[in-house]
Chain A
């Protein structure tokens, strides 16, 4: 384990106003280190996704602060924050959100293209990344021609293709069967977790808890406990 990657302090978020106000995340404080694979778990509606969104710079908190690599991300301007996300954070969305009209390689190349890499170079790097997740032969196909597990791996390849320091996965096994889900997380743990990267996974899938270094338990928006993962113990 190396230095502090994420420092969340007093994170609070509520939705609605007046009598309708509902607090989704309440005063959450924790730290995560580089080289660490951290789970945020809890029942549905516990505020996992809201917390993840605040940590990754896409939902502004109503209270508290988030530092990624010593940068207070919520003090950045909108364009600076977008650039920070592009440079530092890789996302794997629950529904993958792959472009059905682009090929698999083009989908993976999207972050590189947003970084103004030349098209051919971006596609070549994306194809190499697909090779790392075992999908090189699928590079020219549209995502709809792939299985759920393969689409998940494409989404992971897209998330890591620009070598981000933070990898954020939202319910990565929700649409997969148990065995495929385990294989995907195993791949993430084995291939994507490096000493320079911190991985945050939101899940309620207990079958994959074994791959975590630490598990944060969230309930009704509050951090109720931090558990060492089986690997760490």
Chain B
């Protein structure tokens, strides 16, 4: 570190009160921004849990579907029609719906049911206990061991309970990439059992999962499905559509965005004002430095260094505190939907950059305007 920056550093950190206020301002802003964007990322990830966990390349659905949980049953012929579209490698049916489990103690628990294609079990979860083939056994269900697992009293292989007045037997325990948003346990079974056991409308097919022969076939498949009167979406586009639903149709995205902006403004106000006060208090000293012979570029360097040091330290503390709070929240509330992504970190970093740029700009302007003559005049 050069001598001038070392002076800048000492002027900053030795003024403990101001330095603490600056750090608190930026740390608080980063904490709020990361918490908000992490909750948003967590909710979006969970909202698309079925899409992520199934892993299908393309999804065929009714045009009225706005998110993966609000499927509109399709007639059975759609499956055959999709299978006959050129460019389709294979297509399988999928059922998604909800059921009601009667637990041994008499309580009821809502569950999410995923019915996999009987022939292929496409979209199967990763097994932790038992074998996937056992799902073909009488009344066989596989339970997902996620944050909601305990709501079914943590069943083991062989556990029996009633599901919509049908006997259900847990034949395996599985793991999935993303937990569900709605806080209910998930059970996997075959497509045929799901449609038999759960009350349904005339049509039972929730989605047709499609694997194209190549990526170049995707547009043709989309067009062919569109001609049938339905919609085909790639995995990423279906996730985006689901995210858009939560963002704009539920107000969730707008609220979180507003909170993020408010955090930014609060952080900028606190840090900007404190940094400005810090500069004002040292203004005469900067004027004295100018008189002694410091060049303007050196004074600018000192201020930028002070702003950058404060910003980066506050950013680090904010990120650390956010991670700690989320980890602690997940210990107490396993269903807590928040995840820190590189995107969150990037957004917070850019906002900290803006805060420090604005704060240092104000400081630099004041320091450049101070005349050494003012120091003489007192």
Contact = CB atoms under 8 A, between A and B. Distances in A.
B293 A101 contact: no
Contact of B377 (A49, A91, A110): A49
Contact of B288 (A49, A52, A97): A97
B259 interface: no
Interface centre among B2, B284, B293, B295 (most CB of A within 10 A): B293
Given A101-B15, A117-B3, A106 B10 contact: yes
Nearest to A81: B293
Contacts of B377: 49
Contacts of A170: 376
A170 B377 CA distance: 9
27 contacts: A52-B376, A53-B373, A53-B376, A58-B371, A59-B371, A78-B295, A78-B296, A82-B293, A82-B294, A85-B292, A86-B292, A89-B293, A91-B291, A93-B291, A94-B376, A95-B284, A97-B287, A99-B282, A101-B10, A101-B15, A102-B10, A106-B7, A106-B10, A113-B6, A114-B4, A114-B293, A116-B3
B293 A49 contact: no
Interface residues of B, number: 30
B14 to A, nearest CB: 4
Interface in A70-101: 78-79, 82-87, 89, 91, 93-95, 97, 99, 101
A221 interface: no
Given A78-B296, A94-B378, A59 B11 contact: no
A122 B373 CA distance: 27
Interface string B355-378: 000000000000000011101111
Interface residues of A, number: 34
Contacts of B284: 95, 97
Contact of B294 (A53, A102, A114, A117): A114
Nearest to B14: A101
8 tightest A-B contacts by CB? A86-B293, A113-B3, A101-B14, A97-B288, A58-B372, A85-B293, A59-B373, A53-B373
A110 B295 contact: no
Interface in A131-159: none
Given A91-B291, A106-B10, A58 B4 contact: no
Contacts of A101: 10-11, 14-15
